[in-house]
């Protein structure tokens, strides 16, 4: 009589939060500089959108998925594909795929995409309340970013809403850099070197 023996192997992988937040911090810092008028054009925002906003967060998504972290995988994956889409949009708008496609681009479609991402971010903001306060602040700022992006794309109070998007993006970068430091240094030193802020404890004990 043959018997089958199952062996469970646990693979330990590092928390990818610092890498994902680094990607978010760098791409929003560079992109906000253009929105706020400190730099011009998107030509040199593109590499950061693709490799930091896109690939760095996608790598964090994949690792979080392996760790069975649905919230982290969805957040990093969702925003990774956002930045890939933004990069592709800039390619179209700048005629990389030809003048015909460039001429047919309707920027209001971007407005609907931003509304969709605002809905997604509001969902993630609720979830972030039971992670830590740094992440919650980042998501609240992303909410304001998408409000500003959507309204300015529809040409509603353009000057104000464009600046709202720019400053929100800039502060996302700053808080995300803090999140990188907290994730790396707290684990490296084995103690709370930089505080995250405890979860709110409203929805989850």
Return the number of other C-beta atoms located less than 10 Å from residue 13's C-beta. Answer: 10
pLDDT, residue 5, reads 73
Examine the pLDDT at 1 and tell me if it is beyond 60.
no
Residue 175 pLDDT exceeds 90: yes
pLDDT per position as a tens digit, 49-70: 999 999 999 999 999 999 999 9
Contacts (Cβ under 8 Å, ≥6 apart) of 196: 132, 133, 134, 135, 182, 186
User: What residue segments make up the domains of the chain, in order of their start?
Assistant: 17-187
Distance CA 45, CA 125 (A): 26
Q: Average of pLDDT values for 124-146?
A: 97
Give yes or no for residue 122 having a pLDDT over 90. Answer: yes
Q: What percent of the chain has pLDDT over 90?
A: 92
Residue 9 has pLDDT above 80, yes or no: no
């Amino acid at each position: 009589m043959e018997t089958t023996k199952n062996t469970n192997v646990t693979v330990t992988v590092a928390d990818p939060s610092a890498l994902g937040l680094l990607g978010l911090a760098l791409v929003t810092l560079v992109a906000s500089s253009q929105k706020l008028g400190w730099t011009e054009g998107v030509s040199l925002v593109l590499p950061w959108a693709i490799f930091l906003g896109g690939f760095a967060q996608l790598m964090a998504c994949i690792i979080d998925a392996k760790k069975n972290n649905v919230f982290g995988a969805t957040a990093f994956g969702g925003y990774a594909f956002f930045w890939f889409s933004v990069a592709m949009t800039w390619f179209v708008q700048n005629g990389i795929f030809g003048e015909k496609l460039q001429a047919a681009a309707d920027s209001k479609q971007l407005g609907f995409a931003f509304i969709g991402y605002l809905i997604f971010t509001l969902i993630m903001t609720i979830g972030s309340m039971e992670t830590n306060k740094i992440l919650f602040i980042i998501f609240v700022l992303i909410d304001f970013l998408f409000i500003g992006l959507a309204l300015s794309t529809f040409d509603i109070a353009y000057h104000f809403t464009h600046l709202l998007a720019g400053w929100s993006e800039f502060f996302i970068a700053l808080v995300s850099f803090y999140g990188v430091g907290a994730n790396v240094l707290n684990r490296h030193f084995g103690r709370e070197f930089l505080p995250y802020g405890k979860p709110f404890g409203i929805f989850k004990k």
